[in-house]
Amino acid sequence: MTDLETPVATPSRTGALRRAAPALLGYAAVRALGLIALAVWSTAHGKSAHKLLTARWDSLWYTRVAGLGYGYEVRLPNGDVHSNLAFFPLLPWLERLVSAITPLSYADAGLLVSTLASLAAAWGIFAVADHVYGLRAGVCAALVWAVLPVGIVQSMAYSESLFTALAAWSLYAVLTGRWPTAGLLAALAGLTRPVGLAVVAAVWVAAITSFLRDRSTPATDGARAWPRALGMLLAPLGAAGYVLWVGHRTGKGPLGYLDVQAGWRNGFDGGYAFARFVGDKFTSFPSALAGVGLIVGVALIVWLYVTCVRQGQPLPLLVYAGVVTALALCASSYFGSKPRLLLPAFPLLLPLALALARLRTSRSALVLGGVAVASAVYGAFWLNGSGPP
């Protein structure tokens, strides 16, 4: 585990890009394969792949924020109110900016932002894994993230890629002792998704741990305390600022954002609703197979996290992955979207990346290639389904 107090010498930007090139080229190839599969599948079923990527489900809500600002809401027959205040502002801000300086529509601007952000996320994941476990593990980590069954979301006009990029680079900044940078990136992550809380928690826990270590080491230079304090100060500003603004706009105070989420029937119940959802699957034989699959999936996630702990992952990665996982699994609604909500939890993939890194290059390439093909086909099928990812 790297000492978080000592900034680590890193190569120049050109050198860093050259080192990350295999990971980025491999990532781009996997995503291109996924898009080709989506285009073929969508055309065969009379649908537009472009529309699926840019103008359905959450992407529509983001483009409405970009074009109309906040205040749009939909009242459902059952009385629920879906307000666009539930969607954090950084992605729509970027969509508006890109659309203002290019001929692109808000939707296409969102697709461009997501595409660039996905490459930045892959690079950030590589950088973290390379820093902790070495070059081969870094390349494998970026590729494992690319070949996830829900990897197609990385190519949509959604906020997952943008958030993961900011989170990964914030964590990398923590690991290399760049506290103000870590805090600034955490603040931007907090403006992107509610789960930005996970990045804030990682920065704070790492900084507090460093302060405690300083107290037990009298010889430590006290001048290094202020960058950590600045990082801690910056980290929560994005999420806190937006949540407080929503509370002010709705007239419901600091908890106003929770009321907005309640209108979507979304909240945090410790996993009770999800457990009931899984239990309901065992009412008939066909659905029971899905229930078994969900239980196996949750068990795999827990096993991966335990493996991360046993392998001695740095504390910031464990805190971040733990909070992302807890928020995803314990949300009270949108059960079909949980795989997507887990997409930013990339430290869970590091044990798999390490296992692949230990194989011969030909074998790891064969495994990743086979999974990439399966992921591309599944992503095309999934995105052409009736519900949102």
Q: Which helix (H) or strand (E) holds 74?
A: strand 73-75
The whole-angstrom separation of Cα 169 and Cα 120 is 9
Listed as own residue / partner, the contacts of 255-264 with beta carbons closer than 8 Å and 24 or more positions apart are: 257/85, 257/86, 260/83, 260/85, 260/86, 261/86, 261/194, 263/73, 263/80, 263/81, 263/82, 263/83, 263/86, 264/80, 264/82, 264/86, 264/333
Which residue matches tokens 């997507």? Answer: 340
What's the token pair of residue 118?
Answer: 């996905």
pLDDT of residue 7: 47
Which residue matches tokens 């999420």? Answer: 239
The whole-angstrom separation of Cα 350 and Cα 142 is 9
pLDDT of residue 357: 96
Domain range list for the chain: 13-264+361-383
Digitized pLDDT (tens) for each residue of the chain, 389 residues in all:
444 544 455 567 778 889 999 999 999 999 999 999 999 999 999 999 999 999 889 999 999 999 999 999 999 888 889 999 999 999 999 999 999 999 999 999 999 999 999 999 999 999 999 999 999 999 999 999 999 999 999 999 999 999 999 999 999 999 999 999 999 999 999 999 999 999 999 999 999 998 888 776 655 555 578 999 999 999 999 999 999 999 999 999 888 999 999 999 888 888 888 888 888 888 877 888 888 989 999 999 999 999 999 999 999 999 999 999 999 999 887 778 899 999 999 999 999 999 999 999 999 999 999 999 999 999 999 999 877 77
pLDDT of residue 261: 93
Residues 6+ apart with CB under 8 A from 274: 329, 330, 331, 332, 335, 338
Burial 261-270 (b: 16+ CB within 10 A, else e): bbbeebeeee
pLDDT of residue 28: 98
